[in-house]
Amino acid sequence: MINQDLLSILACPVCKGDLEYTKINDNDYLKCQTCRLYYPVKEEIPILLPEEAVKEENVKRD
């Protein structure tokens, strides 16, 4: 889980959109509400690198 204070100041590095925390199949992500990219969160650290982002249609769901 991401600290809400931290989440409130983070933005998508691609489009500067707001991010929201989501969990899919035991994987944590920050999802951009604007461009719909998913950024992985590893050991409570958001990886906000454009090259690490996953497009919404490529996020694996059960």
Domain with residue 46: its CATH number is 2.20.25.10
The pTM is what?
A: 0.90
Domain that holds residue 8: 4-58
Q: Partners of 39 in the beta sheet?
A: 30
pLDDT value at residue 1? 75
pLDDT(55) > 70: yes
Strands (E), the chain: 19-24, 27-32, 37-42, 45-46, 54-55
pLDDT(62) > 70: no
What does the pLDDT look like over 1-41, one tens digit per residue? Answer: 788 898 999 999 999 999 999 999 999 999 999 999 999 99
Number of domains in the chain: 1
